[in-house]
Structure 1
Amino acid sequence: MKYIDEFRDGELARGLARAIAAEVHPERSYRLMEFCGGHTHAISRYGLQDLLPPQVRMIHGPGCPVCVLPIGRIDSAIELATRHGAMLCTYADTLRVPASGGLSLYKARAQGADVRMVYSCDDALALAEANPGREVVFFAIGFETTTPPTASVIRKASERGLKNFSVFCNHVLTPAAMTHIMQAQTGPDAVALDGFVGPAHVSTVIGYAAYQAFAEHYRKPVVIAGFEPLDMMQAILMLVRQVNDGRAVIENQFTRAVSREGNLKAQALVAQIFTLRDAFDWRGLGEVPASALRIRDEYVEFDAERRFGLDYRQVPDHKACECAAILRGQKRPQDCKVFGTVCTPDHPIGACMVSSEGACAAHYTYGRFRAADQQDTL
C-alpha cells in the first residue's frame, strides 16, 4: 500500500539499526522515553527494541489517554449513568477500565445503566437530538488530538439549543505531563531520561513549537515521530545524535503531517470552548498543575460536572497493579507480578492492560514479555 509499506521496509529498518549502532558510544547508555502509547505499540509490534544496541533503552511514558484516567473519574462516569440516570456515551476502551467496587462501565451497563459505545462525539450529539426526554452525557477523554472534536460538539449543541446534552470533560495536556515527569527527576519517582520521542497525532494539533520551552528549560531533546517502524528508528537515530552532540532541540521527523505551528483553526476552537484547570489528577502522576481543560463558563450548561454536581474523590489503584509505576517509566509491564497471569486483556486488573494504547496490552499482544528474563543492565 503506497505511503504505508514504504515505512515498513525491513531492509531500511536494518540499515537504520546499523546507523544507530554506529553512532552509539559503547561506554554510555541512552534512555529514551516514547511518550505516546501508539509508539509503544509500534516498538512492540515490530520488535524494534531487538534491532537496537543494548545501550539504547526505550522507556514507556504516560501517553495513553485511557491509562492516565484515574479510577475516581471512572466512578464519576458510572455515577452519571446510575444515580443520575443519564445516557452515558463514550469510546470503547473506556468501558472496560476497572473502577471501584469491582465495577466498570461495562458492568454498570450489565446491571441496567444506559451506557453506550460511540465512534465519535457527534454520535452522542445525535443521540441527544433523537432522545429529547433523556439527559445524554458524552464522557470525553484524550489528549490534544481528541479535544477539538469535543469542542465542536459543544459549539453545535449551543447553536442548536440542545438542553439535554452535556460533556464530562477529561481532556489532558501533553506538555504539562512531560514537564511533571522532568520535575520528578530528583524525587522518589525519578527516572533518568536522555530524550523524548514526541507524540505524533498530538503534534499535528499543537505543532512541534509547543515543546520548545520544555527542551530549553530541561535540556532534553525531543523528536516528533510518526507511528511506522521506520519513523521510530529514524527518530531514535536523531535522538542519539543529539545526545552525543550535547544538543537539546526540537526536531520533527514526522514532516509529512506535523508543522511548526500545528492546526491553528483547531487551536482557536479549543480556546473558544475550554480553559485550563488549576490541576488535574492523573493515574501514575498524581495531581499535575495546569494539565487539563474544563469547559468555559460561557458554556456551563454543557458541563456535566457542574450540571450534576459531581464530587471527585481520589481512589487508589488495585494493590497488585503496577500501572502507575509503568506510566511514570519506573517499571516495565513484565515487572508487575500479575502481568500475563491474573491480568490479561480479557480480564484486566489495570488500565494499562485495557487500552489499545496501553503498555501492558502492547507487551502482552506482541509477546515482548517473553524477554522478561533479560536483565536491564543500563
Structure 2
Amino acid sequence: MSALLAHAAGAVWRRRGKAGALGCGLALTVALMAAILFLTDALRAEASRARAALPDVLVQRLLGGRPALLRPEDVKKLDGIDAVREVRARVWGYLFVPALQGNVTVIGAPSDLVPLTVAGGALDSGRDLAPAAHEMIAGTTLVKAMGLVVGDEMQLPSAATDAPSLRLVGTFSSVVDLYTADVIVMSDEDARAALGLGPDDATDVAVTLTNPAEARIVARTILERLPGARVIERDLLDRVYALAYGRRAGIVLAASIPALLALLILAWDRATGLGPEERREIAVLKAVGFATSDVLWVKLFEALLVGTTATVVGLLGAYLWVFVLGAPGLRPALVGFGVLYPEAPLTPEVDLTQLVAIVLGVLAPFIGLNIVPAWRAASMDPMDAMRS
C-alpha cells in the first residue's frame, strides 16, 4: 500500500499544475464556507455572553404598532408583581452623527446606578460620571472613530435646543465588544435632553426577577396590566440574536454562489472523463501488472492528497481570516452595523460537527469524481486505452 501511495504522490507531482488548480479552487471554496460558519458561531457566542447584561424581562409601549415612550403611570402599574425584584425605567436611543455618517447609541445612567453597570463594561481610561456635571463616557471604538481624547467637550447633534454640551471624562471597554462599538453613556437628564424626551419619559422598562424561570408568568401579568405592550423575555432575545446571525450568514452564503459555481465547474471537468495522458498512464499500469483495484487505490490516494491538502489549507485560511485578521470584508456583513462595528478579536467558537460536514461535503464528491472516471479507464483493455 505504501508503494501505491508513493506512486500516487509522484503522479500528483507530475501533474502539479492541474492538481494545484483543483486544489486552489477547493481551498478557496472551503475557506469561504468555513469562514462564514466560524464567524457566525463566534458572533452567536458573543451575543450569548452579552445576554448576561440583559434584563430578565423587557417592557415596551406600542403605539400604532411601533415602540413609543413610556409614561410614569405605565411604570407604576408594574409595581407589586410577584417574583419581581426591581422595575427600572430606562432612557436610551440613537443619534445620527454626520461626522460618522452613522448612528451612535445614547444610554442614560440613573444617579443611583454605577454608569459602567449600564454600559456592561469596565473603565479603560479617565473616570466615571459625576452627578449633574454634563459629562459622558464612551466606548473605546467610538472614541477612536471620532478622534476624541479624555477632556474633550462635544455637542451631540440633537433636535432639542436645550441639549447641553458634554465633556468626555472616561472611556470603557468590555469583553463583549458589542457594548463598546457605538455607545455613549451620560446621566438620565442629559440623555433625555439629547434625545428630546420629556423629563419623565422612558424608552422601556427593565424588569429584574427573583427567579428568572418565572419570566413567562410575569410576562403574562404585565400584559394584563399594560394591554398592547410588548413584553420580551431574555431567552427570547437570545433566540432572536441566533436567528438574526443565521439569516445574515445565509444571505452571505447565497452571495458566494459564484465561488461555489467555480467549484462545480472544476468538478464537472473531472467528471467528463480523464485526459489522454491519464488514460495512457492507467493503461501502462494495467500492462505492467497492476490490478484494477490497485489502479483505483492509486487514484483514491491522488484524490485524497489533493482534496485533503486543499481542505486543510482552506480551514486554516478561514481560521486565520476570522480569528487572527478579524474577518475583513466579511465581518460587517454579518455583524449588521452600518458604520461602527465591533473590532475586538473574536473568541474562537468552532463546531466540530460543522467541520466534519464541510470536510465530507468537499472530499466525498471530489473523490467520487476522480474514482468513477478512473474505474471506467481501468476497466478498458490496455491496448484500446493506449490507442484512444
TM-score in terms of structure 1 length: 0.24
Which one scores higher on RCO, CA 8 angstroms, separation ≥ 6? 2
Q: Bigger radius of gyration, 1 or 2?
A: 2
> Whose helix proportion is higher, 1 or 2?
2
TM-score in terms of structure 2 length: 0.23
